[in-house]
Amino acid sequence: MNRAAVSLAMTCVLAVSACATTRQLPTDQIGDACLMLKENKTWYKALRQSAKDWGASMGLQLAIIKQESNFDSKAKPARGDRKLFGLLQGDRPSSAYGYAQALDMTWEQYKAQAGNGGADRHSFADSVDFIGWYVNQTAKQANVGQYDYRAHYLAYHEGAGGYVQGTWRNKQWLVDAANRVQAQAARYESQIANCGGLKRDKFLGIF
């Protein structure tokens, strides 16, 4: 795929699921990255690897998952209004699915470009690798700084093209969500940095 095609494809929008419920984690773990990762050590390994490979901080990866699916591996967007006098379920607004709420087309693009052909949106490791890859791509295209968590989430939701064009500016709900992601990412980063019992390698992540 040439650069122009990649740039166009990366404008795909990742839908936010507002209805996700928690199936894997209790509430106390969701709010505490240290507790969460001690209880799910394979998650820590996957987050650290994605951070090394793509430059996206572990805190940002976790904050995006919290916002998108609330750590529900099977999360989907809420259905619309029921049809045919309530006899039929409403349609879902998009194909977003899993921890990262990636769309079908964007997920297929990730598998092809990142060389992870067997990736599954139900997998935490594949989901954080996807988030790292996507953040890395949009950071390059939209010139977003590595630790500008708010901008990263806006670009994650609107795509690099949408972020640059400012499609988010009149979406106050999205701006509010990006502010929450920014605060949550910083909180998770602080919790991880001060968590005893986790092996923390020092590295410089560069987009």
Domain count, the chain: 1
Residue 202 lies in a domain: no
- Collapsing DSSP to helix, strand or coil, 105 comes out as helix
Residue 201 lies in a domain: no
24 DSSP 8-state letter:
S
What's the confidence (pLDDT) of residue 94? 52
Residue 204 lies in a domain: no
Contact 192, 198 (CB under 8 A): yes
pTM value? 0.80
Residue 124 lies in a domain: yes
Residue type, 52: K
What's the confidence (pLDDT) of residue 15? 37
Tens of pLDDT along the chain (207 residues) come to 444 444 434 444 443 333 333 355 777 788 899 999 999 999 999 999 999 999 999 999 999 999 999 998 886 655 344 333 344 443 434 567 789 998 888 999 999 999 999 989 899 999 999 999 999 999 999 999 999 999 999 999 999 999 999 999 999 999 999 999 999 999 999 999 999 877 655 544 546
Residue 207 lies in a domain: no
Q: Token digits for 128?
A: 């954080």
Closest CA to 48 of 38, 39, 40, 58: 58
What is the rounded distance in angstroms from the CA atom of residue 116 to the CA atom of residue 53?
Answer: 13
Q: CB count, 10 Å around CB of 26?
A: 11
What is the rounded distance in angstroms from the CA atom of residue 63 to the CA atom of residue 68?
Answer: 8
Which pairs count as long-range contacts for 104-108, CB under 8 Å and 24+ apart, including other chains?
A: 105/9, 105/12, 106/9, 106/12, 106/14, 106/134
- Collapsing DSSP to helix, strand or coil, 155 comes out as helix
91 DSSP 8-state letter:
P
What's the confidence (pLDDT) of residue 199? 66
Residue 83, φ and ψ in degrees, nearest 5: -120, 170
CATH no. for residue 169?
A: 1.10.530.10
Q: What is the domain range of residue 99?
A: 3-193
Residue 198 lies in a domain: no
Residue 83 lies in a domain: yes
What's the confidence (pLDDT) of residue 127? 96
Residue 203 lies in a domain: no
